[in-house]
Structure formats: structure tokens, C-alpha cells
Amino acid sequence: NIRDEVFLEGLKTYEPLPHRLQFLGEKNGIKYYDDSISTICETTIQALNTLKDVDAVLIGGMDRGIDYSELIRFLSGHPVPYIILMEATGKRIFEEIRQDYPDFQKMERLILTDHLEDAVKEAQKLTRPGHSCLMSPAAASYGIFKNFEERGDAFRDLVFES
């Protein structure tokens, strides 16, 4: 029993959960989104399906040994220009694609980095103004960060303090 006008006003002021497709702001014409809470393939897939202008997606973290085949198949057919892979999971996904997915579309989109700091630097170089950079790691943060909140905060700091 809520009037449309009241609902629309509420929608305008709605704030999403921190670290779940959270718009962090814009720097040098690039929009940055923190999806650090994304620790499984499905949430990264949904993030890329939601944001239509992503130029660079940052994927990777602690390797829990989960199956990444669904995400790999999705990324192969997705038009995102740059897939920046980091940490142990990123390295594993990179190797799995090279070994097990010879038909992966545009393999040159894969960029392997060591850590989040390196991934952010690559994304800043590669993302075109007017487009988005999305950190949606599809992996846990443990062993690297205390939790996904700390990882998301580190992403924000790396973007806006550099």
C-alpha cells in the first residue's frame, strides 16, 4: 500500500550494501565499482551482467579449490575487453584457460598480475574514460586480507590515493 511517488523517492535514496556492486566514484573519467563481497563465480557473472560498460574486471584471491569452469565459459563469451587476474586464484584461472580452454575467445584479454595493487595499476591504464572498472574477485580474501571488507577498502584506497 505504498504510493508510487513514495516508492520512487525511497528508491532514489537507496544505498546498496557496502562492497556489493558499490559505486565508489569516478577518477579520470573512469567509474569504479567494488564488488569485493563476490567470492563465488555466480556473483561475478551477475555483476558483469548488471554493469554494461565494464572495460576491466579484476578477478582473483585466495584459492579455495572451487570449480571456475562456469565463470571461464561465461568470460569467454562476454565482451569485457580486459580480464585482470590476480593472486592464487587468478593464476589458477589463467593456467586453466591456457591448458583446458583452447577456444577461449580473445585470449589476449587475459592479464596476469600478482596482487591487487598491480591489478589496479593495470586497470587504470587500460580502462577507457566513460567506462567502468569492476573488482568482482569470485574468490575469498583470506590469507591476503582479513576479510572482503578490508579488500574492498584497499581497492578504494588504491584507486583514489594513487
DSSP the chain: ---HHHHHHHHHT--PPTTSSEEEEEETTEEEEE-TT--SHHHHHHHHHH-TTEEEEEE--B------HHHHHHHHHS--SEEEE-HHHHHHHHHHHHHH-TT-TTGGGEEE-SSHHHHHHHHHHHSPTTSEEEE--SSB-TTTSSSHHHHHHHHHHHHH--
Q: Give bridge partners of residue 59 from the DSSP assignment.
A: 85
Query: By percentage, how much of the chain surpasses pLDDT 90?
Result: 92
CA distances from 123 to 4, 51, 64 (A): 40, 16, 25
Query: How confident is the model over 45-73, as a mean pLDDT?
Result: 98
Per-residue pLDDT reduced to its tens digit, 100-142: 999 999 999 999 999 999 999 999 999 999 999 999 999 999 9
pLDDT band at 162 (very low <50, low <70, confident <90, very high): low
